[in-house]
């Protein structure tokens, strides 16, 4: 599908805006740590009380909080998947080989802008690992943004590994949290919040799903209602998403966004991680200038 390229707006977020990390609640931290280190290739950076901070060598990309009483939920808003962006097709192939060796059930999608692998952690939290194609390939001859879902050339990906040893040292240091995909109760209402209040630009809207970004990226944030139309938020003691962080380039940009959030009568809560706001579907987001 093709969509007109969005035009910059006065409230558009700075192009340097990125995602930082995602924080999840899990019922069994030992089990989750084994999965995220051995299967996904994260490294444990530090432990604090019942929380584990994991990454690929730089800043934390994932924080896991243990709550033994946490229960998985169905037909609520929350996490659809978090997406880990690797720096090359070769790194995608290395990760794919490791997933296969661990007998992980996988899904695949060639989204024209990217090649993606999908799976879930032991608690059902959705995960995507993907690599981007060059930005020059994201647009058609008329300058329209193009995104869809086609089969991945899995054999072609694995051919990247020719003459490679079987050893894998985990995710490359340049790996980042590429995007978040949320379950929302109302796509248009959620998209309006992230577009008109937060300042992300809408790259594509398909009715039941929308994709928004800063700086012309294909999407930092996806949302859909495929399993969550008119659904409630999950109870506080649920497995899954606590929040994700949106990292703004400086304090001035953070102040501008905070002003718009307050003007739209959304509650901003000060936390150690930054300013926490919940979208209309009660998904948590931390606004910050520091990904720690």
pLDDT tens-digit map of 210-263: 999 999 999 999 999 999 999 999 999 999 999 999 999 999 999 999 999 999
19-37 pLDDT, tens digit per residue, is: 999 999 999 999 999 999 9
Rounded to an integer, what distance in angstroms lies between the CA atom of residue 60 and that of residue 134? 26
Q: What is the pLDDT of residue 255?
A: 98
Q: How many helices (H) and strands (E) would you count in the chain?
A: 5, 18
Sort residue 56 into left (φ over 0), alpha (ψ -120 to 50) or beta.
alpha
Residue 64: half-sphere exposure toward Cβ, Cα within 13 Å: 27
Closest to 283 in 3D by CA, of 234, 247, 239, 248: 234
For residues 200 and 211, what is the distance between their CA atoms, to the nearest angstrom?
9
Query: Mean pLDDT, the chain, as a whole number?
Result: 97
Q: What is the residue range of 111's domain?
A: 2-288
The predicted structure's pLDDT at residue 166: 74
Measured between alpha carbons, how far is 97 from 229 in angstroms, rounded to an integer?
36
Q: Are 138 and 81 in contact (CB under 8 A)?
A: no
pLDDT for position 292 = 58
- Distance between CA atoms of 218 and 216, rounded to whole angstroms? 6
Sign, CA dihedral 7-10-15-17, equals: negative
Residue 197: name the closest of 94, 280, 114, 93 by CA.
280
Write down the pLDDT at residue 290. Answer: 80
CATH number of the domain to which 15 belongs: 3.10.180.10
Q: Which helix (H) or strand (E) holds 139?
A: none
Q: How many domains does the chain have?
A: 1
The pLDDT averaged over each successive group of 10 residues in the chain (292 residues) is: 90 97 98 98 96 95 98 97 98 98 98 98 99 96 94 98 87 98 99 98 97 98 98 96 98 98 98 97 96 63
Q: Which of 88, 70, 84 has the alpha carbon at shortest distance from 42?
A: 84
What pTM did the predictor assign?
Answer: 0.96
Structure tokens at 236: 């506080």
Bridge partners of 239, per DSSP, are none
């Amino acid at each position: 599908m093709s969509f007109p390229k969005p035009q910059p707006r006065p409230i558009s977020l700075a192009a340097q805006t990125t995602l930082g990390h995602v924080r999840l609640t899990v019922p069994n931290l030992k089990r989750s740590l084994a999965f995220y280190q051995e299967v996904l290739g994260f490294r444990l950076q530090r432990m604090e009380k019942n929380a584990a901070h994991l990454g690929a060598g730089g800043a934390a990309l994932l924080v896991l909080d243990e709550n033994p009483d946490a229960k998985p939920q169905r037909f609520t808003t929350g996490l659809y998947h978090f997406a880990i962006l690797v720096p090359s097709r070769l790194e995608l192939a290395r990760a794919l080989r490791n997933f296969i060796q661990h007998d992980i059930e996988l899904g695949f999608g060639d989204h024209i802008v990217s090649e993606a692998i999908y799976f879930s952690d032991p608690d059902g939290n959705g995960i995507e690992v993907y690599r981007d194609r060059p930005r020059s390939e994201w647009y058609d001859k008329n300058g329209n943004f193009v995104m869809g879902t086609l089969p991945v050339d899995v054999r072609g990906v694995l051919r990247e590994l020719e003459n490679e040893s079987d050893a894998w040292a985990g995710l490359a240091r340049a790996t980042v949290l590429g995007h978040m995909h949320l379950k929302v109760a109302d796509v248009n209402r959620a998209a309006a919040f992230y577009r008109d209040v937060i300042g992300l630009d809408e790259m594509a809207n398909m009715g039941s799903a929308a994709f928004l970004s800063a700086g012309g990226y294909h999407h930092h944030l996806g949302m859909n209602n495929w399993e969550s139309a008119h659904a409630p938020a999950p109870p506080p003691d649920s497995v899954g998403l606590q929040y994700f962080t949106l990292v703004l380039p400086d304090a001035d940009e953070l102040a501008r966004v905070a002003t718009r959030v307050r003007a739209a009568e959304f509650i901003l809560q000060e936390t150690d991680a930054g300013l926490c706001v919940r979208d209309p579907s009660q998904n948590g987001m931390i606004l910050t200038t520091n990904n720690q």
